[in-house]
Amino acid sequence: MDSRTFFVLLWILLLSTSTGIKLNGNGYVDIVIAISSRVPQDEMLINKIKEMVTNGSFYLYNALDKKVYFREATILVPPEWNSTDFSKARTESFEKANVRIDNANPAFCNEPYTNQYGECGVEGEYIHFTPEYLLNDIFIQLYGSRGKVFLHEWAHVRWGVYDEYNEKQPFYHSDGLIEATRCSINLEGQFYEVTEERSLQRCREDSQTLLPTKECLFFPDRDQITNSSMMFLPSLDPVTAFCRENEHNYEAPNLQNTKCGKATWTVIFEDSVDKDALRSLKPPESPPSPPSFKVVQRKQRVICLILDVSGSMRGKRILLLQQAATHFLRMYIEDQARVGIVTFSGSASTLSPLTTIDSDTTKENLIKLLPKVASGPTNMCLGLRQGLQVLQEDNGDALGDQLIFLTDGIATDNIKECIPSAIQSGAIISTLALSNQSDSALIEMSIQTGGRFIIANDEVISNQLMDAFAALTLSTGDYTKEPVQLESAGARTSDWFNGTVSVDQTVGRKTSFVIVYERSFPSIYIQSPSGSIYTQTNMSHDSLLKTVTLNVPGIAEPGDWKYSIQTTTLQAFTITVTSQAARDEVPPIIVKTHMSQQVSDGTKPMIVFAEVTQNYRPVINAEVWATLESETGSVHTLQLLDNGAGADVSQGDGIYSRYFTQIVNGRNSLKVRVKNQDGQTRFTAPKKSGAPYVPGYVVDGVVQLNPPKPPVSEEPLEVENFTRTATGESFVVTLSGPPPNFPPNRITDLSAEIQEDTVHLSWTAPGEDLDQGTAKSYEIRWSFVLNMLRNNFSNSQAVNTSDVSPKEAGSVEQLSFNLSFPIQNGTTLFFAVQSEDEQNAKSETSNIAQASKILPPLKVPEVPKVPKVPGISNPGMNLFVLVISLCVVTVVICFILAVTTWAVRRRNLSAESKMALTV
């Protein structure tokens, strides 16, 4: 079997055995729920988690035709919690957990939500619950049963469906009616505004849209005959199911329609990761038992470095190893962690048993032990077994401990023979591959154990090995205690190497500048924002490692730090800047990056993601660039966007993304650099996928108010200048033919408006290849019937686009036109777009935009206010009925005035007659 065939078979195996949630028969297993280190110990919290998942299993079983349920879940508690009842964690970690229990996101307070930014049908990142949400039963009133809320969020994180409500557009016009954005459309309720005094008043109308204002709220009838939908209103007791095709509201302007264009049930059974299993599964013979739970914990971090010192590591590679491992031990190993070092070539040696890090001196003693020479064959199994033996020295096993396996070559032994036992050890094994020749089986080992696989080339200028070590943190959820990489840059020059690093106010403690040079010692100048100059006299120089280090004392001054490195010899330089949170109570801005696929055969587009946040708050308007480098040396740079178009799901949510189309065979690395963009960067608070707050219910015709939702600040906050770099896991491309040519991306933000008889359309331009380049042409069609566009786009009415020239991808497109007939008041029209590239490949049909022509009613005399006004009892509100009602009221008032005037005149005449008779 040649290496390429093995590579393909390996990845087929990985796709079928990947870690994470699994559907084992009818039961979901390997669900990881992690509690952040910022959460104080509370045994009741564990009980509430178990109760929520148990109830959620009951609702899941009934919602999906009694086919599936939750069988097993693991709860990972923080290392600071004390108890003898906790088992030892294996590969579970906070960052890879499906559910996070952590302090509140400032944008959501205690509202449950799912961090979801993939395409429709793609798994989300994680569900976020707060301790207060789980412990305080008042939130059951606001959001419904925790079990049903868990199922609502599970549908986001597991099946990739979206919400069927829309807080930004809760109403829409439909053929003269005002409808609530909901699914199914049969759900009944009343509409009111809630005043500051907590009283009810009739909903007001927006003069521009003629829709109810944003203050208008929907109060569902508590008792009504309905069972859907879980993605619209899980808090309603009768709701127990997901919307199916025959009840789905395709007109509703919600994310489910925009992103999926299908009913939730259809996505779950046709597009989700579980689609094949769900279609073939039969209900179990008897109702399932409650799920079982394991509560696990990882105490102090235990790490063993397994370092390749075979002959191929000779020269610059062994020096790169020393430089990167030194930086890792100095900057990324926390106090009280335990570290061991093993080397391997034709044999394996323990350079250091597990050693507790209790001082800088201990770190420096370990650094002195790092290997300096390399020779011999590459016996990987010897190194792997020796590393596992070192990990077992403290308590007899390697459960939850870390192995960092660094190698540059092909194994001279059969590495596949020892990988199964390594996986079974329970250790988290990350692989750093310093060339494209490292054995492919190491990738499987890393994925199966919850570790990371990162490739790095041996070019000094790339700094990739230093970056790879920096990416191997094991977060407990408290980012104030973890190093942050501010900068990683390199250049080859015989003159000056200059740059700027922005230190923002969220970081500054333990700030270090590490400069690596290739040949001769350069002149180095680092200037603080206030103008202080640091030179070599303020720095430490290690001539053997060819590194110069500036450790900034105290808290680094916030602002722009400028560095200048001068040399007269042509050589390569790199600079790496790291820091930590300036204050214990303020987490720093962090960047997480990854690819949508760790392996691609070219049939499905790949997406690059970078999430920029501070304490869960999105950081928007930043400048984000991704560098993707293949093992053959080809480098592609992409600017990632947060514009809600192309690969990006939502605008302004701090998730920057882009399609990666220049794929080539082999292994590829990913690095992202983020910086402020001319002072435009902001903290913001966009709505994410989550269970909706319910303001109250209608019970026996009377509205019963729930407690108000805790207020959150929606005002964007300024962010000072900052820089960050982040390294993602490497990915592999295995093409069986030439690189694919993709059509333009699907347009997902088409909007429509009708003014007089003119239709105005707006959308973001797609590209020639997905979201890059410029498409050749557009095809725009419309219909009176939404399903006509959905099911038969090419036979719908066409709009003349012969004069429309597409703009570059990412540009705003606007088109205005008149139809061949006058549009009647109350008419609703539907529009959709397809784009085409130079190879005549067409995009998928866009989201369907709708627009209604609604003319304001004629002005009538103001009607006196009535103390008590009944609410609107049906979500569909007919505009013509409202106009007629106003007219009837006006007629009645005029009649009353006329009768009153006649009566007054008659009384006056009668009085005059009596006076005349008296006289």
Nearest to 355 by CA among 394, 297, 402, 327: 394
Which of 153, 193, 205, 518 is catalytic? The answer is: 153
Q: What is the DSSP string of 526-561?
A: EE-TT--EE-GGGSEEETTTTEEEEE--SBPPSEEE
Q: What gap in Å lies between CA 33 and CA 45, rounded to an integer? A: 12
Identify whether the C-beta of residue 349 lies closer than 8 Å to the C-beta of residue 343.
yes
Task: Choose among 488, 505, 489: nearest CA to 497.
Answer: 489
**Could you please report the per-residue DSSP string of 107-141?**
TTBT--EEE--S-TTS--SEEEE-HHHHH-THHHH
Q: Are 522 and 574 in contact (CB under 8 A)?
A: no
CA distance 609 to 613: 13
CB 184 within 8 A of CB 226: yes
Give CA angle at 89 (83, 94), nearest 5°.
100
Question: Which residue in this structure is represented by tokens 């078979």?
Answer: 9
Compute the CA torsion angle 94, 99, 104, 108 (nearest 10 deg): 140
- What is the Cα–Cα distance from 824 to 821, expressed in whole angstroms? 9
Question: What is the sign of the dihedral through the CA atoms of 124, 130, 131 and 134?
Answer: negative
In sequence order, what DSSP letters do the residues of 481-499 get, joined into one string? GS-EEEEEEEEEESSEEEE
d(CA 361, CA 582): 24
* Long-range CB pairs of 6-14, under 8 A, 24+ apart, other chains included: 6/440, 7/440, 7/732, 7/734, 8/734, 10/440, 10/441, 10/443, 10/444, 11/599, 11/732, 11/734, 13/444, 14/443, 14/444, 14/447, 14/598, 14/599
Burial environment of residue 17 by CB neighbours within 10 A (0 to 12, 13 to 18, 19 or more):
exposed
Please confirm, yes or no, whether 153 is among the known catalytic residues: yes
**Is 573:497 a contact under the CB 8 Å cutoff?**
yes
Residue with tokens 């350079």: 351
Tell me the two tokens of residue 462: 């790339």
Q: Sign (positive/negative) of CA torsion 5, 11, 13, 16?
A: negative
Q: How many CA atoms lie within 13 A of 84 on its CB side?
A: 0
Residue 119: exposed, middle, or buried by beta-carbon count in 10 A (0-12, 13-18, 19+)? middle
Spell out the residues 6+ positions from residue 539 whose beta carbon is closer than 8 angstroms to its own: 513, 524, 548, 549, 550
Q: Answer whether the bond into residue 184 is a cis peptide, omega within 30°.
A: yes
Closest by alpha carbon to 104, among 196, 18, 182, 38?
38
The two most distant CA atoms of the chain are separated, in Å, by 140
Among candidate residues 104, 122, 123, 120, the one with its CA nearest the CA of residue 112: 104
| Residues in Cβ contact with 391 at an 8 Å cutoff, skipping those fewer than 6 apart | 302, 304, 340, 354, 397, 398, 401, 403, 425, 427
Helices 441-448 & 3-17 angle (0-180, nearest 10): 10
Residue carrying the six token digits 């050693």 = 355
Helix or strand or coil: residue 73?
Answer: strand
One-letter identity of residue 38:
R
229: preceding bond cis by omega (within 30 degrees)? yes
* Cα distance between residue 869 and residue 5, in whole Å: 74
Which of the residues are catalytic? 153
